[in-house]
Amino acid sequence: MNFNSSPKFYSSQNDFKKGVILILIGAACFSTKAIFVKLTLAHGVDAITALMLRMLFALPYYLGVIIFSPSITKEKIQSAPWGKLLVIGLLGYYLASLFDFLGLQYVQANLERLIVFVYPTLVLLLGAWIFKRKISRQQAIAVGITYSGILIACISQDFDFKSSNIGLGIFYIFLSALTYAFYLVYSDNLIKQMGIVTFNSLSMLIAVIAVLIHFGWIYGIDIFHYDWQVYVYGALMGVIATVVPTLALTKGISLIGSSNAAILSTFGPVATILMSYFILHEPFSLTQGVGTILVLLGVLFLGLRGKG
């Protein structure tokens, strides 16, 4: 037995477990976004305003990290691949968020989660197509289990397909899933090149600036005439649904890779169903419970077996 290799093996397994936990935390926090958006929209604001408030409340954190973090040096900023970083920042947290918020104006939160979570499949397909990454048998099985759970959990929902705008909402949310999948696929190499903190902070800052410019172009700079609840929900979106999950997911991706992270993130719809029940007081059926169990089994299958 080669005892010298044991610590390295243990460290690798331990890192993978940490990555699994971080991705699950990030997925759960991201899932609060749909709840907070619905609560915000109920006060008469539109998707652009809700997204602006989310980014505005997240902005101080990312500015603080860029200014005060010792891991972000002047040399790192100057040597950053700004062209690629600009594209990634606009894809991941500007366009993906914008399309998602627009779609939530027309569809229910549970339907939004179901559509958004086609992105793990998109990530695997894009990774195989662009980078020739092999889709392992374990990943395929995990996708099958989790997607079965998502479908079962959401099938009992009373979706209003007669709405004249539901098709538009579905289209917007699918675009959100597609742009986010591109973000995940291309983020791997940039994270390795730039480091987690630098990549996360600069890409989010790009997205925040893009959102603020978008809002200012349409509505100007007057942001102090909304109901007080709108600002509370905006702050919660900025911290719980933005800062915390972006940190958790970025670190998680660096530990287990984008394909595994995408599969594990399918825990998100389960979290949305639970929060919809407790916060929005939507019904929770036996069918949803069965779907929840399947999703958790799929997540555990990937997490306990190690890297695919």
Please answer whether residues 142 and 197 qualify as being in contact, where contact means their C-beta atoms are separated by less than 8 angstroms.
no
C-alpha span between 71 and 76 (Å, rounded): 9
Specify the pTM: 0.79
Burial of 9 (0-12, 13-18, 19+ CB in 10 A): exposed
> For 2-46, how does the pLDDT look when each residue is reduced to its tens digit (9 = 90+)?
434 444 444 577 888 899 999 999 989 988 999 999 999 999 999
> For 63-104, how does the pLDDT look when each residue is reduced to its tens digit (9 = 90+)?
998 998 888 888 888 888 899 899 988 988 899 999 999 999
Please answer whether residues 106 and 165 qualify as being in contact, where contact means their C-beta atoms are separated by less than 8 angstroms.
yes
pLDDT surpassing 90 at residue 130: no
Q: Which of 65-79, 121-135, 206-220 has the lowest mean pLDDT?
A: 121-135
Q: Which of 37-51, 150-164, 172-186, 223-237 has the lowest mean pLDDT?
A: 150-164
In whole numbers, what is the pLDDT of the chain averaged over residues? 82
Please answer whether residues 88 and 181 qualify as being in contact, where contact means their C-beta atoms are separated by less than 8 angstroms.
no
Residues 145-172 have a mean pLDDT of 71
Closest CA to 158 of 111, 116, 113, 117: 111
The larger pLDDT score, comparing residue 278 to residue 6, is at 278
Give the domain ranges of the chain.
15-305
C-alpha span between 122 and 224 (Å, rounded): 40
C-alpha span between 214 and 219 (Å, rounded): 9
What is the number of helices (H) and of strands (E) in the chain? 15, 0
Tokens encoding 230: 């709108």
* 142: confidence class by pLDDT, cuts 50, 70, 90: confident
